[in-house]
Amino acid sequence: MSDTKVLKLVPKSKVKVADAPAPAAENQTPAARPTAVTPIEAPATAKSQPASQGVSPDISSPGAQTGAAVAVKPSRAPEQRGQREKNERERPRLSREEMLAMYRTMYLSRRIDDKEIQLKNQNKIFFQISGAGHEAVLVAAGLVLRPGYDWFYPYYRDRALCLQLGMTPLEQFLSAVGAADDPNSHGRQMPSHWGHKKLNIVSQSSPTGTQLLQAVGCAEAGYRFKLIRELRKRSSNFHKDEVVYVSLGDGTSSEGEFWEALNTACNLKLPVLFLVEDNGYAISVPVEVQTAGGDVSRLVKNFPNLFLQRCDGTDVLESLAVMKRAVQYCREHRGPALVHAKVIRPYSHSLSDDEKLYRPDEERTADAERDPVKRFGAVLIDEKVTDQDGLQKIKDEVDALVNVAADQALASPQPEPETIEQFVYSPDVDPTSSAFDNEASAELTGNAGTMVDLINRCLHVEMARDARIVVFGEDVADCSREEFLEKVKGKGGVFKVTANLQRKFGSARVFNSPLAEANIVGRAIGMATRGLKPVVEIQFFDYIWPAMHQIRNELALMRWRSGGDWKAPVVMRVPVGGYLKGGAVYHSQSGVSTFTQIPGLRVIYPSNALDANGLLRTAIRCDDPVLFLEHKHLYRQAYNKSQYPPDEFMIPFGKAKVVREGTDLSIITYGALVQRSLVAAKQAEQQGISVEVVDLRSLQPYDWAAITATVQKTNRVIVAHEDSLSFGYGAEIAARISDQLFEHLDAPVRRVAATDTFVAYAPRLEDAILPQVADVLGAITDLQRY
């Protein structure tokens, strides 16, 4: 469709040249001013704004402008009369240069999409997903937000936003070709998975909606920094009026994490700007199938403290007015804002999709008539901001720029194969090193305490040492209503592990969460990204599954997928396991192998109080995400009590412990099976069998050297664990022993584990399902006879 035809579809706007330029906003420094698109040769920074690219409008306060300005009435009014009148009063006042710069960025975004489509059809890149049809509202968002100052959690349609913030065309093409110099992911993710350290664009992933809770956690980090007195002088990267931007499509508003994010953002009045880019389709599923009533803003209108705005997201001027109000609301600490922008999707969902299969021609034609790039070009000509020749000059410059950037990206080197293992874990802090090992010299003092006591002591010591540590989860606080703290004993967790932490360190650092596990982990990731150290609790391992998206696809992957630019060293404390008599199906699970197979995640499983203290301290002080499993049955057992170690006591990850020496046979185990193995070993000794018991303590990483040593010593080995036998954790250990230590074996590797069922409520059934001492003893005698 030509620009001339579109021009006839756009109502003529009233133009009035301002008598004098309005003053720039006082609270916006030049360094924080929104940037225009930078040339491909220059690195993107928060300060770069070449004159050749035009001037971005300074619109952080009503009426602010630069140079001679035109006041343009939005070409498409909102649905509600009140909002239409408000847009009229607060219509943007922009110079001609500013309006041309906006058009330039919108057109540049579209041309990069088109060039990528061409490259994909030529098999020069491998995937393409466009931001076409979303350019207007995204450029508006980029103009009112501050790169390197505010924080950004975009989704894959946000190409124009990233360009407006300062990402260059070359940087976007580097992502498309998977180049090593790609600042988004260094060749590790698909194109349009945005991330840029200098611009505060946090690494984005493919799962829709997982960024929402992280954005809330990012904003909450600023909220916590203001409340924690010890951190106020250390908050150089926090700003009093910062805003966290997060965007999503209409389909993602169906995700539960969208509602969890809104709930917490509204509850804490966090400065989060939610932008719903509603193009009417989630791949092929229309919005009325996704959303009750087909309008998500109607569903959220009763959220308290939420500033709700609607706009035609294909009209850049209307979008600008609405986005400015929303950002101002957030900067004033009044709460979150949600902008529901109606946009279009003129191309298929991606090049892997063909929208002609489910969208009729008339619907696609109607969308094309609202194309934001063509509409704004028509407005510029109609309002005499420029003419066809001026518009064509911009297009020619952009087309040349895009071609040069694409050629440079295609010539850029790919990442070297040897880099694949970089950034799976922290390159700076090694929790397996001797720096974390003072176990041998530790002097124990005081009365013996249970595992609960020593974990609690560790949390107290570490929170006193590091003010960045925040503890939250379901029921972890002593009492959320602080006015009752002096009247009640306090909860402190369902197992009392976090008792008195809130009393000691205050509600800014120890607080309860909603009953929503994804909410806990997602917020923790956002906080950790900003420098806090969340130590969160998932109340029962059985209920960790709602957080699996956040753990598997976000927490463990953040560092690797961003090439080391971002990290999230969160500690997740999780009560686990059975042997409870009454725990049944949903309080007895032990599916650790699900987590040990996730690269980037440390998995720790102590069997006694002293190890729990030292390993938890290492978990808190290391720089990786850690799943810290605490067996519920072991919390208060007398046999695993210990006196208290020093405040610096640490046990390194990946260091097993021989808890019983033996010569005939080895048992490799962990958790509750350690004690059962020790009892079985003592009984076997009465039959003349000398059994060595090795407690792994750390499951990822595990101590292969210790396993090798015990197999070479005894030549017979049993792997015992509480998880199900088939596909359980022991299968990996057994397979590796058979593969690499076969010549040292005098018998097959045996496994002792739970049955391939769930754990039942009736005690007789539980005893039959979970491995008992008799099961371990039976395996010992059978293997010895082999």
Q: Which residues contact 365 (CB under 8 A, 6 or more apart)?
A: none
Query: What distances in angstroms separate CA 260 from CA 212, 256, 476, one per listed residue?
Result: 9, 6, 19
For 752, the enclosing helix (H) or strand (E) is: strand 750-754
Residue 310 pairs in a beta bridge with 340
Q: Is 58 helix (H, G, I), strand (E, B) or coil?
A: coil
- The position carrying tokens 């509480």 is 722
Helices (H) and strands (E) in the chain, counts: 26, 24
What phi and psi, each to the nearest 5 degrees, are found at residue 53? -95, 5
Burial class (CB in 10 A: 0-12, 13-18, 19+), 418: exposed
Q: Which residues contact 786 (CB under 8 A, 6 or more apart)?
A: 716, 746, 747, 748
CA 608 from centroid of its chain's CA atoms: 32
From the candidates 196, 587, 631, 721, give the one annotated as an active-site residue: 587
- The position carrying tokens 């950034």 is 423
What phi and psi, each to the nearest 5 degrees, are found at residue 288? -70, -20
Please indicate whether residue 134 is annotated as part of the active site. no
State the angle between helix axes of 388-410 and 96-121 in degrees (0 to 180), rounded to the nearest 10. 40
Q: How far apart are the first and last CA of the chain?
A: 81
Asked if residues 195 and 207 have their Cβ atoms less than 8 Å apart, the reply is no
Asked if residues 86 and 73 have their Cβ atoms less than 8 Å apart, the reply is no
Burial class (CB in 10 A: 0-12, 13-18, 19+), 25: middle
- Nearest partner of 526 among 470, 467, 476, judged by Cα: 470
Residue 582 and residue 588: Cα distance in Å, rounded?
Answer: 9
Residue 256 and residue 150: Cα distance in Å, rounded?
Answer: 26
- The position carrying tokens 């792997």 is 719
Instruction: DSSP letter for 201, please.
Output: B
Residue 152 and residue 243: Cα distance in Å, rounded?
Answer: 9
Q: Which residues contact 277 (CB under 8 A, 6 or more apart)?
A: 134, 137, 138, 155, 157, 247, 248, 249, 250, 313, 341, 343
| Helix-, strand-, coil-residue percentages of the chain, each rounded to 5 | 40, 15, 45
Enumerate the active-site residues.
Answer: 587
